[in-house]
Chain A
Amino acid sequence: MRTVVFLAGAAGVVVLAVVAALHIPGFGSTFHPYRTAAVEASVKHVAANVVSSVNFDQRGLDTLGEESILLASILGAAILLRPAKDETEKRPLSAGRVLESTRMLGYLMMPITLVIGLDVIAHGHVTPGGGFQGGVVVGTGIHLLYVAGSYPALEKARPLRAVEWGEAIGAGAFASLGVAALVASGAFLSNVIGTGSFGQLLSAGTVPLLNGAVGIEVASGTAVLLGAFLKQAIMVKGPDDSR
C-alpha cells in the first residue's frame, strides 16, 4: 500500500522535474553572475582560493551556522550515546590483537596524515582545502592509533576533556572573531585584518584565522564523535552483558 502511494507521488514529482528541466539554463552555460562578483570580491580581499573566500569572507554567516550544526550534531550524538541508567562503563579485559604489519603501517602513516591535515587547514585560503576538510583528516588520522594500536592507546592520546574543550574553543573562536569584527568595524564577520599579498600564507585577512578555528573544531568534534561511538561499542555494558 505504501509503495503504491509512493509511486503515485514519485510519478508526479518526476513529471514536474522533467518539465522544469526543459526550462533550466543548459548545462555548462555562461550565465553565472554571482560567480563573477565572487571572484572579483575574492581578489579584492587577496584570497587565492575563491571557494574559501566565499565560505569565510563573503558568506561567513552560513559557515557559522554550518559549524554550529556540527557542534549540535556531535553534542546530540554524545548525549544519545551516553550510558543509560541501567548500563555501566567497563574496560574490556583484552586490548585485542593487531597484526605487526598493520601496526607498522599505522605508526608510519599517522604522523604523515596529521601533517597533511594541518597543511590543508593552514593553506585553506590559498589551495583547495580548508578547515572542514583538513579537520576531518586530522580527526580521523588520530584514530589510526586505534586501528593500528589499541583502544587504551587512543584514549591516552586524546583525552576526552581535551577534545571537548577543542570543540568548544573552535566554535567559540569563530563566533568571537565575528563579534570582534563587529566591534572593530561595525559589521559582523567582516575582514578587518590587513590582507597581505596574493598566494602567500599570510593573506586574505581573517580567512586563515577562521579556517584555523573551524579546523580545531572539526578535528576535535570528529574525535568526540568517533570516541562516543567507540565507547558505546567497546565499553558500555548492559545489565545482561557478560563480556
Chain B
Amino acid sequence: MAPLAVAVPIMVAALIIMVDRRLPRLAIDLLATAGALADVVFTALILHQSASGRVITWSAGWKPVHGLSVGIVLVDDPIGAGIALLAAALVVLALVFSWHYIESEEGHYHCLMLLFLAGMEGFALTGDIFDMFVFFELMGAAAYALTGMKIEDPTSVQGGMNFGIINSLGAYIALMGVGLLYAKTGQLGLPQLGRALAHQPRSELLVAAFVMLMAGFLVKGAMAPFHFWLADAHAVAPSPVCVLFSGVMVPLGVYGAFRVYWAAFPTAIARPDVSRAFLALGVVTAVVGAVMCLEQRNFKRLLAYSTIAHVGLFIVALGLLTSEGVAGAAIYIVSHAGVKAALFLMAGVLLARYGTVDEAELHGRCGDAGLLRWLMPVGGLALACLPPFGTALGKEISEDAGSAAGYLWVPALFVAVSACTGGAVLRVAGRMLFGLGPPPEEGAGQTSGDEEREGEPLRRIPATMAVPILTLLGGALAVGILPGVHAAAENAARIFVDSGGYRNQALFGTAARLPAVHEGGWSLSGVLLGLLSAGLALGVAAVGIWSRPITHHFPRLLDWGRRPLSVLRELHSGHVGDYVAWLMLGLAALGGLLSLPAR
C-alpha cells in the first residue's frame, strides 16, 4: 500500500504528459486532483492500519533474515502516516485552488505538483536513509521548478535559484552523512542502523554523521542559520505552491531529522547534548523568524518568516526529546499547516484581485474583498493561538512538555512568538482590509510586494478558491475541538520515540504494545496562555498600525532597536554566497554544540 502512494502520482503525471495537448484544461485539473485524492485514500488507509501497530513493507518482498535484508523497508507509524496524509490533503486543496488561479495551457504545472506529492509521500513513508535522500531530492527538484515558474517575474527566478542552490547543497551534505554512517555500520535501513548503533560506544564519526544528516534535512526544515532561502522562495512562488512549502514541506524536513534521530541515534549520542543543540537553535530560529516577520511589507514574505518562527517552536518542542513534546509538535504542525495554508491562499486571492501583496500599496484598498474581511483576521488570531483552534492546543501541550522537562522559559517563548506572528498578520489585515492607521512609510531595504499575477484579474472569489480556504481554517479549528485529539497524538508520539519497538517490529516482527493513553485535552492554564498570546497579538498589531504616534512619544525606543534590527535585515540579503557562508557556519555550530560535553 505504501509504495502505491508514491507510484500512483508518478503514473498520473506520466499520463498527463501524454494527453495534455488533447484534453481541455478542466480535464487535466480533474485528472491531477484525482491522482492526489487517490493518495489521500492510500495514506488514510495506512494511518488507520498503523493505529494497531506500525505498517511494515519490505519493498520487492525482501523479507529480513536474522534482522538483515537487502531491500528497502517502509515503516509507517501514525506520525509518519499522518504527515503523509497531510501532504496529500494539502495537494488536493492546492490543486482545487489552482483550477481558476493558475493560468497555464499545458499540464506541466500539474505534473510537477504530482511529482512533488510523490516525493513528499516517499520521504514520509520510507524507513531507509538513502531512500530518504532520493525522495528529498525529488521534493527539491519539483519545488525549484515550481518556485521559478513565473519566468516573467525577475524575483521569481532569483528566488528559485537561491532555493535550488542551498537545498541541493543541504542534500549533498546529508548524503555525506549517509556515506559516513554506511562506512561505520554497513547498513542503510533505519531499523538496521538502529540495531547496529544500539551498542556502539560514543564516537566522533557518529557525531559527524549525525551533524551532517541533521544539517542536510534541517536546511529543508528552515532551522537557523539554514533558513535564509525560505523567505526568498515563498515571496515568489505561486500561492498554491507556498501552501505546500509552508504547510508540509518545511515540517517534513524537521520530521525527517527527528525520525532519523529516534530510529538510529538515541543511544549513540548523549541525549543532553542533542537536546541542548536543538533547543538553542530552535530558540534562535523562532526569535529571528518572529522579528523579521514584523519587518515585512510583502505579505507572502511575512508569512514565510512566520513559518520560520513556528518551525523554531516545533524544533524546541521536539528538541525536548520527550513524547509529550512530540505530541505537542504534531498537533501544532497539523493545525499550523491549516492556518498558514489558508493565509497563503488568501494572499493569492489578494494578488489576483489587486495585483500586489504589498501592505503599503494596499492600505485601505481591500475593503471590498468580501469573505476575506472575516477570514484574514480569523487567520491571524488562529496563528496567534487563540483557543479553541488547534494551534492553541498544540502550543499548550508543548508548553506543558517544556515545563515538565524543567525549561520554564518555554511557555514565555511560545506566547511571545505566536503573538508576534499573529500580530503581524492582524496588522496587515487591519491596514489592508479596514484601512486603519496612517499609511506605512517606505522602509529601505525591504522587499516590495509587487508580483506578477498568475492569471486574469479576479472579480468575485470563485468557489474553487473560497472552499479550500474555509476547509483549511475549519480543519485547524476541528483539531482543537474534536475530542480525543490529545490522546491520539500522545499515543502516536509514544510510538514515534519507541526506538526499540521500531527496529524490533521491522526486523523481527515483534514489538511490545505500548499502553494507550486516554485523558488529556484542554487545561485552564493552556486556555489562559492562548488567550494571552491572542491578546498580545492584537496589541502587537495595534502598535504596528499606530507606531508613528507611539514612537513620537518614546523616541529613544526607536534608536535602541534600530541598529541590531538593521544588521539582522542586512544578513537576509538575497545573495546566495551569504546563504552558503551561514550554512557552513551553522554546520560547524551544530557540530560544536553536539561535541562539547554537557555542563
Chain A–chain B contact at Cβ < 8 A: yes
Q: Give bound CA distance, A25 to B186, whole Å.
A: 11
Interface centre among A3, A20, A31, A178 (most CB of B within 10 A): A20
B208 engages A188 (CB within 8 Å): no
Q: Does A93 contact B (CB under 8 A)?
A: no
Give B176 Cβ to nearest chain A Cβ, in Å.
Answer: 9
* Chain A minimum-CB-distance residue to B211: A16
State which of B130-138, B260-268, B294-302, B531-539 sits at the interface with chain A. Answer: B130-138
Contact, CB under 8 Å: A69 / B137: yes
A187's contact among B58, B108, B137, B138, by CB below 8 Å, is which?
A: B58
| B586–A9 touching, CB < 8 Å | yes
Once the chains are docked, how many angstroms separate the CA of A128 from the CA of B10? 28
Of B4, B109, B589, which one neighbours A12 at CB under 8 angstroms?
Answer: B589
Please tell me if the beta carbons of B115 and A75 are within 8 angstroms of each other in the complex.
yes
> Do A64 and B591 have beta carbons less than 8 Å apart?
no
Cβ of B588 to closest chain A Cβ, rounded Å: 3
Kindly state the separation between the CA atoms of A79 and B157 in the bound complex, as whole angstroms: 12
B115 and A71 form a contact (CB under 8 A): yes
B122 at the interface (CB under 8 A from A): yes
Q: In this assembly, does A97 line the interface, its C-beta being within 8 Å of a C-beta of chain B?
A: no
Asked whether any CB of chain B lies closer than 8 Å to the CB of A10, the reply is: yes
Given contacts A17-B208, A84-B152, A188-B59, contact A2 B14 (CB under 8 A): no
A144 interface hit (Cβ, 8 Å): no
Answer whether residue B112 sits at the interface, using C-beta atoms and an 8 A cutoff: yes
B70 touches A65 (CB 8 A): no
Determine if B11 and A84 form an interchain contact, defined as CB atoms under 8 angstroms apart: no
Cβ of B70 and Cβ of A41 under 8 Å apart?
Answer: yes
Given contacts A5-B585, A62-B131, A175-B11, contact A182 B4 (CB under 8 A): yes
Q: Report if A169 contacts B (CB, 8 A).
A: yes
Which of A53-61, A105-113, A134-142, A193-201 lies at the binding interface?
A53-61
Interface centre among A12, A19, A57 (most CB of B within 10 A): A12
Residues in B whose Cβ lies below 8 Å from that of A9 = 581-589
A189 at the interface (CB under 8 A from B): yes
Given contacts A66-B134, A76-B144, A189-B60, contact A16 B68 (CB under 8 A): no
Q: Does A239 contact B (CB under 8 A)?
A: no
Q: Assess whether B141 is in contact with A76, with CB atoms less than 8 Å apart.
A: yes
Among the listed stretches B199-207, B233-241, B335-343, B503-511, which one makes contact with chain A, having 4 or more residues with CB under 8 Å of it?
A: B199-207
Closest Cβ neighbor of A54 among chain B residues: B70
- State the main secondary structure of chain B at its contact with A: helix
Cα of A22 to Cα of B58 in the assembled complex, Å: 35
B6 CB within 8 Å of chain A: yes
Q: Which of A23, A57, A66, A167 has the most CB of B within 10 A?
A: A23
Candidates A22, A68, A76; contact of B119 at CB < 8 Å: A68
Which of B6, B15, B108, B588 is the one whose CB lies under 8 Å from A61?
B6
B60 contacts A69, C-beta separation under 8 Å: no
Residues from chain B with Cβ under 8 Å of A54 in the complex: 70
* Cβ-based interface call for A82 (8 A): yes
- Could you tell me if A23 and B203 are in contact, using CB atoms closer than 8 angstroms? yes
In the complex formed, the residue of A with least CB distance to B130 is A62
Is B17 part of the binding interface, using a Cβ–Cβ cutoff of 8 Å?
A: yes
B151 part of interface (Cβ distance < 8 Å): yes
Which A residue sits closest to B72, measured CB to CB? Answer: A61
Asked if A72 is an interface residue, CB under 8 A from chain B, the answer is yes
B392 at the interface (CB under 8 A from A): no
Residue of A nearest to B160 (CB): A80
Smallest CB gap from B183: residue in A:
A24
Q: Are A3 and B581 in contact (CB under 8 A)?
A: yes
Residue of B nearest to A12 (CB): B588
The complex places the Cα of A33 from the Cα of B182 at a distance, in Å, of 10
* Contact across chains for A5 and B581 when beta carbons are under 8 A apart: yes
Closest to A14 in B: B588
A19 contacts which chain B residues (CB < 8 A)?
204, 208
Asked if A59 contacts B71 (CB within 8 A), the reply is yes
**B149 touches A (CB below 8 Å):** yes
**B152 / chain A contacts, CB cutoff of 8 Å:** 84-86
Does A32 count as interface, using CB distance less than 8 angstroms? yes
The contact string, 1 if C-beta is below 8 Å from chain A, for chain B 66-78, is: 0011111010000
Give the interface centre of B70, B119, B144, B209 by most chain A CB atoms within 10 Å.
Answer: B70
Q: A9-B587, A188-B7 are in contact. Are A167 and B17 (CB under 8 A)?
A: yes
A20 and B210 alpha carbons, distance in the complex (Å): 11
Chain A residues near B4: list those with CB within 8 A: 179, 182, 188
On whether the beta carbons of B134 and A65 are closer than 8 Å, the reply is yes
If A61-B59, A79-B109 touch, whether A68 touches B118 (CB-CB below 8 Å) is yes
A161 at the interface (CB under 8 A from B): yes
Q: What residues of A have a CB within 8 angstroms of the CB of B464 in the complex? A: none
Q: Is B288 an interface residue (CB 8 A)?
A: no
- Whether a CB of chain A sits under 8 angstroms from the CB of B62 is yes
| Bound: A64/B595 CA distance, A | 37
Q: Please measure, in the bound complex, the distance between the C-alpha atom of A72 and the C-alpha atom of B146, giving whole angstroms.
A: 10
For A29, the closest partner residue in chain B by CB is B183
A169 to B145, CA, bound (A): 22
Most buried by B among A20, A60, A72: A72
The reply to whether A62 and B134 form a contact with Cβ atoms under 8 Å apart is: yes
With contacts A31-B186, A38-B70, A73-B145 taken as known, whether A168 is within 8 angstroms of B592 at the C-beta atoms is no
Q: Give CA–CA (A171, B115) in the complex, Å.
A: 11
CA distance A186 to B63 in the complex (A): 12
- Which chain A positions have C-beta within 8 A of B577? 2
A72 touches B14 (CB 8 A): no
The reply to whether the CB of B184 lies closer than 8 angstroms to some CB of chain A is yes
Asked if B584 contacts A13 (CB within 8 A), the reply is yes
Specify which of A31, A34, A69, A76 is in contact with B70 (CB 8 Å cutoff).
A34
Nearest A-chain residue to B579, judged by Cβ: A2
A77-B138 CB under 8 A given contacts A12-B587, A13-B587, A189-B59: no
Closest partner residue, chain A, to B68 (CB atom): A37
Is A203 part of the binding interface, using a Cβ–Cβ cutoff of 8 Å? no
List 13 other contacts, CB 8 Å, given A65-B138, A68-B119.
Answer: A12-B588, A16-B591, A20-B209, A25-B183, A31-B186, A38-B70, A65-B6, A68-B118, A75-B145, A76-B141, A76-B142, A168-B17, A172-B14
11 contacts between A and B (CB under 8 A): A5-B581, A9-B582, A9-B587, A20-B208, A24-B183, A58-B71, A60-B60, A69-B141, A178-B7, A182-B4, A188-B7
8 smallest CB-CB distances across A and B, nearest first, come from: A12-B588, A76-B145, A9-B584, A187-B61, A9-B585, A172-B14, A20-B208, A188-B3
